């Protein structure tokens, strides 16, 4: 089975409140077995919209990645992220 990935480029607009999102998303990520491959750190956007945070998260499967995003746990956390940042995000199947 191919793995699923979240790929996100996030521009944090409210750094004081963004940590609330990070704390809140833990419930969904633990439940769906998320594994962070990239979570912040040094990075440079070479084309497209700016991003202050780059993230790649691995899941057991594409469906699991989608299920995590649509879960009540993540949807609650997402409201906090939307209040503290803007993002470009995709869910993709690995090779």
Q: So what's the pLDDT on residue 81?
A: 97
The whole-number pLDDT of residue 24 equals 97
Q: Are 85 and 10 in contact (CB under 8 A)?
A: yes
Chain segment 12-29, per-residue pLDDT in tens: 999 999 999 999 999 999
Query: Is the Cβ–Cβ distance between 80 and 20 less than 8 Å?
Result: yes
pLDDT in tens, 9-68: 999 999 999 999 999 999 999 999 999 999 988 999 999 888 999 999 999 999 999 999
Please tell me the distance from the alpha carbon of residue 61 to that of residue 42, in angstroms, as a whole number: 27
Q: Are 24 and 77 in contact (CB under 8 A)?
A: yes
- The average confidence (pLDDT) of the chain is 96
pLDDT at 49: 87
| pLDDT score, position 50 | 86
As a 3-state breakdown, the chain gives helix, strand, coil percent values, each rounded to 5, of 35, 30, 30
């Amino acid at each position: 089975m191919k793995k699923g990935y979240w790929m996100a480029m996030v521009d944090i607009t409210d750094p004081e409140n963004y940590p609330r999102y990070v704390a809140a998303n833990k419930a969904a990520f633990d439940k769906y077995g998320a594994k962070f491959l990239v979570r912040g750190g040094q990075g440079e956007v070479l084309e497209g919209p700016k991003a202050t945070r780059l993230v790649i998260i691995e899941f057991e499967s594409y469906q699991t990645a989608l299920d995590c995003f649509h879960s009540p746990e993540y949807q609650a956390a997402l409201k906090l992220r939307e209040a503290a940042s803007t993002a470009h995000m995709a869910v993709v199947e690995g090779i």
